[in-house]
Structure 1
């Protein structure tokens, strides 16, 4: 599936985020918004629609900070494995992607078999599907 341009809001599945991570991520997103980081608004939207759960009640298959995630990218028809990290821990050469990237913000709270349309840097929309999650 190629990247497409659209005025329609992207489809978004139900997501789950542990309460303590939600609080920290919201602070990071708000600080990024103040610095005019392009993905900050998208991350705030994702966090605002998340279902919050107590940390101990978060299922191990839910993408959270530190999770290793394998996902397929419909635009490139490729599979990628990344670890979702806080901005200071990001290292693209080690496949450690920041929550302050479009893909990082799209992955948070997702579970295997869920797909999400996410905004690409060029203004289009692409789709990814979570295949597996490990902690």
Structure 2
């Protein structure tokens, strides 16, 4: 059974517009097999509840949120920052929204499970433990 990616997702209107434009403006993104039409990221964009950045609940993962996560299979904890492709740096924990992990985290809440792939495939599901930084909660509504 495939996970449903748009359940319980909340996106800021600004994140929604920027990610949609990212996918539209770069033809390579449209042809990128990691982001096919009907992909988890497209499902998130199409099915999420949209709110203004000023109304974003502080427990929701938004772009440039820094989150503490736990691998549900091993219990290993890590800190990830959800970012745009140009800022990706896996060694520093910066994960692109175009990656399976990034798409799975976007719009999820603390305590929820982000499932980056279909059951049995890597990477494993991640439990969102804490949001260490969220731009909107810090008063930055344009990051």
Shorter-chain TM-score bucket reads 0.7 to 0.9
SS at match of 2:74: coil
Q: State how 1:44-83 maps to structure 2 within 5 Å.
A: 44-83=42-81
Q: Identify which range, 46-55 or 70-79, moves more after superposition.
A: 70-79
Asked if 2 retains the 8 angstrom alpha-carbon contact of 1:70 and 1:79, the reply is: yes
The verdict on how the C-alpha distance between 1:37 and 1:29 changes in structure 2, with shifts beyond 3 A counting, is farther
| CA deviations over 1:75-112 (Å, ceiling 9, x no partner) | 33311101111110111121111111110110001110
Q: Relative contact order, CA 8 A, sep 6+: which one is greater?
A: 1
Aligned residues: 127
Aligned partner of 1:35 among 19, 31, 38:
31
Structure 2 gap ranges (5+)? 135-143
SS at match of 1:118: coil
Aligned partner of 1:21 among 15, 19, 23:
15
Higher strand share: 1
The verdict on how the C-alpha distance between 1:101 and 1:20 changes in structure 2, with shifts beyond 3 A counting, is same
User: What RMSD, in angstroms, separates the aligned Cα atoms of the two structures?
Assistant: 2.2
Q: What's the counterpart of residue 93 of structure 1?
A: 91
Please report the TM-score for the alignment, with normalisation by the length of structure 2: 0.78
Asked if 1 retains the 8 angstrom alpha-carbon contact of 2:101 and 2:115, the reply is: no
Structure 1 gap ranges (5+)? 1-7
